[in-house]
Amino acid sequence: MTFRIVQVATKDLLAKGIDMGAFDQIIGYTAVKQRLERTADVLAPPDAYRQLGARPPRAMLLYGEPGVGKTLMARCLIEASGRASVVCRKDEPNGEFVKVIKKKFKKAAEKAPSILLLNCAPKLQRTPFPERQKK
């Protein structure tokens, strides 16, 4: 069974007085949403969890087929956590992108605690896998 992510018109619902949580924008993917909600909960008030000996995650990788909603899920995590965010997309050629990504990491460090969203990770790959080209 395949699920699709559907972005609900949040502004329309708010105009009608319906309050939505960050993850209510995602339909399906119940297990993934629960994991992201728990992660956002740890990121929002980290001091309470640190007192219990827990540490917030330093990194998270969302992977899957293109178009399933990884970026939407990441944006919901950012919204629910209340953290500052820096988004990095691969819009420049490889040589220039290295400079851009260094600037984004520096900006994220300045805004710490923050979330750095590296969007379009497949574009970071230099060359396709040779075995995939033959098929």
Question: How high is the pLDDT of residue 125?
Answer: 55
Amino acid at 94: N
How much is the pTM? 0.70
Among candidate residues 91, 88, 92, the one with its CA nearest the CA of residue 116: 88
Structure tokens that stand for 20 in this block: 């939505």
Question: How high is the pLDDT of residue 13?
Answer: 46
Question: How high is the pLDDT of residue 72?
Answer: 92
pLDDT digits (tens, 9 = 90+) for 19-42: 567 888 888 889 999 999 999 988
Angle in degrees, CA 125, 126, 129, rounded to 5: 75
Question: How high is the pLDDT of residue 19?
Answer: 55
Contact 7, 71 (CB under 8 A): no
Question: How high is the pLDDT of residue 108?
Answer: 93
Strand partners, 115: 85
Question: How high is the pLDDT of residue 74?
Answer: 92
Tens-digit pLDDT string for the chain (135 aa): 444 444 444 445 445 555 567 888 888 889 999 999 999 988 987 888 888 888 888 888 888 888 888 999 999 999 999 999 999 887 777 678 788 889 999 999 999 899 999 886 555 555 554 555 555
72 three-state secondary structure = helix
Amino acid at 96: E
Contacts of residue 70, Cβ cutoff 8 Å, sequence gap at least 6 = 62, 63, 64
pLDDT digits (tens, 9 = 90+) for 76-86: 999 999 999 99
